[in-house]
Structures are given as C-alpha cells and as structure tokens.
Amino acid sequence: AVTFFWLRRDLRLEDNVGLFQALQSDFPVVPLFIFDDAILDSLPSDDARVGFIHDSLAKINTELQEIGSSLLIKKGKTAAVWQEIINEYDVKEVFYNKDYEPYAIARDTAIRELLETKNTIVNSCKDQVIFEALEITKADGLPYTVYTPYKNKWLEKYNSNAPVTEFDCAAHFSSFYKSSFEFLSLTQIGFVESTIKVKPHNLTKIANYHETRDFPAIDSTSYLSPHLRFGTVSVRKLVNWAAKKNAVFLSELIWREFFMQILYNFPKVMTHNFKPAYDGIEWRNNEEEFKRWCTGTTGYPMVDAGMRQLNETGYMHNRVRMVVASFLCKHLLIQWQWGEAYFAEKLLDYELSANVGNWQWAAGTGCDAAPYFRVFNPEIQLKKFDEKGIYIRQWIPEFDLGYGQPMVEHAMARDRAIATYKAGILK
C-alpha cells in the first residue's frame, strides 16, 4: 500500500503543504509528475516552459535519489495515467496542492471521482497562495473587485497571524517510497531544449524596489514570476520575507492573489470583459497592424523594445508590458484577447489570472481597471522611465533619435481611442 503525492505547479520539496501532509500519512509516499497531453499537445516542441519544468523535476529527482527514492514521471492524458497507476499500485491516499484555474479544477474533479471509485482518499491542500478563493471577502461575503480594499483586508488578516507557518518537509523525508524510477528525458516526452532559459530569481535588490521597479534599464525586479508560476519557490517563505523587507514589493505579491481570486470567482474573465458595458466597443482588429506590434516594428521605440525583449527572452519588464498593452488596445484598437493570447504563447511567466487581469486592466475592461480615457503616450513613457534610452538600445541596436516612423500618430490615435470607447460604452 502506498500514498501518492502529485506534483503539478509546486515543483519543490521545500515548504510544500501537500507534500508535508502526504509524508505524515500511514504509507510510503510515491512522488508523481504527469506531463499532461491536454496541455502539451498545443505547444511547440521547443517550448521553454516545458524545458524549465523538466529541469526543475531533474533537481527534485536528484534530491530524492540522495535519500534512496525517485520521481515517477508519466506522460499522457491525466485520467488514463491515473487509471494505469491505480491498476498497478494499491493507492490508499493521494495528496496534491490546489490549482484554481478552470481547466485544473475540472481535471482535478474528474481525477478525484476516478480515485474515489477505488476508495482512495483524496486530499487537496492550499499551497499556491496565502489566502485562496473566498478567504478574503467583503463584509457581505462577496469577493472584492477593487484592489485597495482587498489588499487592506489581506494585510489585516496576514498581520493578525504573521508570519504564516512554513512546513519542514525534510524532517519527514524518510517516509518517501524507496524506488529508482527511470527519469524520462525531454526527448522522451517529445520536446527539445529551447535557447530561451528562465533566469534565476534575484532578491538582492528588493530594498530599493519602490524607487527602482518602474525603470526597465535598472535590473531591480525579482524575476520571481516563472518561479511562482511553477512553484519552484514557496509563496509563504517569500511573503514572510517580503513583509519584513519592502511593503511595495509585498503589495505586488498581493496583486497576484487579487487576480487569482478574480479568476476563481469570475471565470468568464478568461475570455470576456469583466465589465459588460465595454462589450459594444468596435475594435479595428487589423491583422497587419497586429503583426507589426508582435514583431516590434511599430516605430515607437518603447513598444518595439518591449516586444523584442519578449520575443527574444520570454520576459518583458512590467512597465513596458503596460505600455505595449495600452498601445495595442488603445492606439491600434485591437481587442485585448489578441494581445493576451500572444503573451500567453511567449511569456515564461505566463499565468492565466495575472495575464487576463493585467490585459483587462490596460484595456479598461477589467475590474479596477485604468479608465478608458487614460491613453499612455509611448514617447512620454520613454522620457519618464528610460530617459537615456539604455533599455531601448539593449533591444533595438539600430536605435537613434530618428528611429523609425511611428505607424500611427499619437494625438490622432488618442482621440480615436477615446471616441471609439465612448461610443461603445454608450451603446
């Protein structure tokens, strides 16, 4: 008889709630990861995120080998893989950490039902966030849709019990199942190495985060996003640390949870405007213009540098993400869903909740979004945040003062955006 611990987007053995609980069960624990065909089938064979997952699993496997255990890796449709596992093992209990995305919720419900037909006890744990789903609500029990009161309530709850508990999994490592499973290579799961790699995170510059985070030429943000996405860091450790170091940085981690609870409570935001009043906007949706945005050839240096950084590295600085997103929705009047899908394909830190939340923020269609008449001027943004053009030159080597011809004139585009939004909202 065995217990299974199913790793998904929590790729670490340290401070992992589901793993910690699994290791206290009455049976040896088999750690499992499934490369899910339902997700992998739509990705290119050199997808850098799959490579990062594989590298992270290799690290975990090495740690497990040191204690006489190993990671069981499977590839296939999750239901078929689980069926195979319950045929092969006497699985008494299964533990996993909750994932709040609609696809994951449906998958986990189906697997739970399958396992329960065999009387396996299924335990799902909160690990990915400090406060999940409906833990932070308004007095009437409804979810917050505005960030600042959400953040205040979040902080109040956190501070009333700070620091949150971290879990010492290593103390129970002797409960792992002794094994030497074959570690599938990237090729065996049908993928190849990408030239793009996830950077290690860097928390050394966070002390001045509130002053430097908006300047893309200053390397001062944490690069935590892909690590939070795949759980190679623990959010509890991070939040306990951030609460002592920098309030502005902590508030960014709260934005992450804000958008996660928005997606959980309002799953329609994945594809639809949070504010239905914006459904009547007549987008121009010009394909040629979209291509110029994607390839970083709009003639606006800050937009082009951002898109080239994204295409070459799978990352873009937050300030620049805001500029390119506003440019697409407002200057070009292309609906946010197109930009969201492009980011989803390219970003190493692609996170459905944050991507949709921030795109809808930029488009003005989201909860607590930028007002529709706020149209970023990409030239002024450049002057404010990269005055010396240091960031721009990194991504546009040919940049000089006479760079390119803007594909659309700012004043005209601004007036056109405001008029189109106004007409759409009043419809």
Point out the annotated binding site for FAD: 209, 221-225, 249, 252-259
Q: What x/- string results for residues 271 through 290 when contact with ligand FAD is judged by CB under 6 A?
A: --------------------
- Starting from the edge strand earliest in sequence, which strands make up the sheet with 72-76, in order? 72-76, 29-36, 2-7, 91-97, 121-125
Tokens of 322: 């805001």
* Contacts of ligand FAD in 190-229 (CB under 6 A): 213, 221-225, 228
Query: Which 8-state DSSP code applies to residue 42?
Result: T
- Contact between 362 and ligand FAD (CB under 6 A)? yes
Interface positions, 233-252, toward ligand FAD (CB under 6 A):
252
Residue (219 or 409) nearer to ligand FAD, CB: 219
Residues 85-144 that bind ligand FAD (CB under 6 A): none
Hunting for tokens 């920098």 — which residue is that? 246
Taking the least distance from each CB to ligand FAD, the nearer of 306 and 389 is 306
User: What part of residues 138-157 is at the interface with ligand FAD (CB under 6 A)?
Assistant: none
Rounded CA separation 348/343 (Å): 9
Q: Give the shortest CB-38-to-ligand FAD separation in angstroms.
A: 20
Pick 20 or 249: Cβ nearer ligand FAD: 249
Q: How far apart are CA 263 and CA 310, in angstroms?
A: 24
Tokens of 150: 């959400």
Question: Residue 329 is encoded by which pair of tokens?
Answer: 């929705």
Q: Which helix (H) or strand (E) covers residue 261, if one does?
A: helix 247-265
Which one among 82, 154, 191, 359 touches ligand FAD, defined by CB under 6 A? 359
Q: How far is the CB of 285 from ligand FAD (least distance, A)?
A: 18
* Token code pair at residue 24: 């206290």
**Rounded (5°) CA angle 235-5-102:** 65
Q: Which residue blocks in 76-146 are alpha helix, DSSP H?
A: 78-88, 102-116
Q: Of the candidates 343, 372, 385, 395, which one interacts with ligand FAD according to CB under 6 A?
A: 343
> With CB under 6 A as the contact rule, which of the stretches 5-13, 159-167, 253-261, 263-271 interacts with ligand FAD?
253-261
Nearer to ligand FAD, 93 or 349 (CB): 349
Of 289, 282, 287, 286, the closest CA to residue 420 belongs to 282
Instruction: Tell me which residue has tokens 């206290």.
Output: 24
Pick between residue 72 and residue 322 the one whose CB is nearest to ligand FAD. 322
Cα–Cα distance for residue pair 345/311, rounded to 1 Å: 10
Q: Which residues pair with 91 in a beta bridge?
A: 2
Residue 259 CB, shortest distance to ligand FAD, in Å, is 5
Interaction between residue 325 and ligand FAD (CB under 6 A): yes
Report the binding-site residues. 209, 221-225, 249, 252-259
Q: How many residues form the binding site for ligand FAD (CB under 6 A)?
A: 26
The correct pick among 355, 365, 377, 381 for binding ligand FAD (CB under 6 A) is: 355
Candidates 358, 360, 365, 377; binder of ligand FAD (CB under 6 A) is 358
The set of residues, in sequence order, having a beta carbon less than 8 Å from that of 162 and lying 6+ positions away, is 240, 243
Rg from Cα positions in the chain: 23
Task: Assess 259 for contact with ligand FAD (CB under 6 A).
Answer: yes
Select 181 or 350, whichever has its Cβ closest to ligand FAD.
350
Q: Which of 175, 179, 318, 335 binds ligand FAD (CB under 6 A)?
A: 318
256 binds ligand FAD (CB under 6 A): yes
Alpha-carbon span 347 to 341, nearest angstrom: 10
CA distance 255 to 249: 10
Measuring CA to CA, how many Å separate 16 from each of 95, 127, 291, 365, 410?
A: 11, 7, 42, 36, 49
Nearer CB in complex with ligand FAD: 82/376:
376
Tell me whether residue 31 or residue 364 sits nearer to ligand FAD (CB atom).
Answer: 364
Contacts of 321 (CB under 8 A, 6+ apart): 306, 343, 358
**From the CB of 316, what's the least distance to ligand FAD, in Å?**
7
Q: Give 148's contacts (C-beta < 8 A, 6+ positions apart).
A: none
Contact residues for ligand FAD, defined by CB under 6 A: 213, 221-225, 228, 252-253, 255-256, 259, 318, 321-322, 325, 343, 347, 349-351, 354-355, 358-359, 362
